[in-house]
């Protein structure tokens, strides 16, 4: 587990833009695997985060948004990747 400079304990909400909301649950699962000491929950249009000692709020906010964006890319390109594999393997 990575410890960040300017670390604090606390709770905050990361607002998720509307176009990314449907990817939030999958992203939260990935984040919970990366940061098992943190508690994540859906709250309105965002993710409520309870940090334990050693985590920077700014860095964690960045990580949440990055993982949600990556989940969007994964979901939107899944069909294309499956078609490519099928074409290459002859399935």
Look up the pTM and report it. Answer: 0.79
Q: What architecture (CATH level 2) is domain 8-89?
A: 2-Layer Sandwich (3.30)
Query: How far apart (Å, rounded) are the C-alpha atoms in residues 48 and 20?
Result: 16
User: How is residue 74 written in tokens?
Assistant: 């994964």
List phi, psi (to 5°) of 54: 100, 5
Over residues 62-75, the pLDDT tens digits come to 999 999 999 999 99
Enclosing H/E stretch for 12 = strand 8-15
Over residues 5-42, the pLDDT tens digits come to 454 568 899 999 999 999 999 999 999 998 888 899 99
Inter-helix orientation angle 57-89/24-34, to 10° = 110
Q: How far is C-alpha 77 from the geometric centre of its chain's CA atoms?
A: 17
Query: Which pLDDT band holds residue 1 (cuts at 50, 70, 90)?
Result: very low
User: Token pair 């969007």 is at which residue?
Assistant: 72
């Amino acid at each position: 587990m990575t410890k960040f400079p300017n670390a604090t304990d606390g709770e905050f909400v990361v607002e998720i833009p509307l176009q990314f909301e449907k990817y939030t649950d999958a992203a939260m699962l990935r984040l919970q695997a990366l940061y098992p000491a943190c508690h994540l929950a859906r709250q309105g249009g965002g993710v409520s985060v309870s940090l334990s000692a050693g985590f920077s709020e700014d860095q964690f906010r960045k990580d949440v948004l990055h993982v949600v964006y990556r989940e969007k890319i994964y979901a939107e390109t899944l069909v294309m990747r499956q078609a490519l594999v099928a074409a290459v393997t002859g399935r």
